[in-house]
Amino acid sequence: MASCEGCYQPDSDGIPIDLFVSKKNPRHRIITSSGFSLRFTDSSANLVFSVDPPSIRGSPAPPTFIKRLLTDASGNLLISIAHKQHHKGCVQKAMWQGFREDSSEEKDVIFRVERTIKTLTRLEFQVFLPNNKSDLKMRGSPFYRSCTIYNGDSVLAQTSLMYKLGLQKKLLVPRNRFRLTIFPDGYAHRALIVALTAIFFHGRKLWI
């Protein structure tokens, strides 16, 4: 099984990369309350990462708070993503955690994410990393497929709608597919960025 030991280690290509995010092919559609699967492919449509509900992996089932499993192209489990609710005073807060591989133990937490702003047009999250790593932020609008991940003032990654050239003007590619650009900040592993992107769009109607 592949390991996520290097989830904080940067990929070292030194150039931005584009991944393309889409719902899985209809034949893979999972009709459950936990939602749909996401595919992250390269420019040649090769699968790079997949984020799926736990139900597709069969038994043994993970704890109920595990809502998504991030795997690589070979199906190796990298990160288990948990979703919980907690209260700060009278306010209910949404919180996510990422666990190493198939663990759900506190010692294997590799990040925590807390939603700090939620409006009709804007979401913002704070990302907490262990071992005194720099904390990250996510900001954007799911409707516009816009999510930017920051490390301080540096942009680590951002999502955007896709366009294609028409005869007279740019034409919008259907909204069920959008681009994730990961920049060579020298900070975060691609698997971490993909996990955070899946959290940002969790529960959103991406396919309209």
Give the model confidence (pLDDT) of 12-25 as tens digits.
Answer: 567 899 999 998 75
Sketch the domain layout of the chain as residue ranges: 17-200
What pLDDT is stored for residue 208 in this prediction? 44
Domain 17-200 has CATH 3.40.50.720: no
DSSP state of 191: H
Taking alpha carbons only, the member of 45, 27, 44 closest to residue 36 is 27
Mean pLDDT of 143-158: 92
Distance CA 93, CA 101 (A): 25
What pLDDT is stored for residue 131 in this prediction? 72
Cβ atoms of 156 and 180 closer than 8 Å? no
Indicate the pTM of the whole model.
Answer: 0.81
Which pLDDT band holds residue 162 (cuts at 50, 70, 90)? confident
Distance CA 197, CA 194 (A): 5
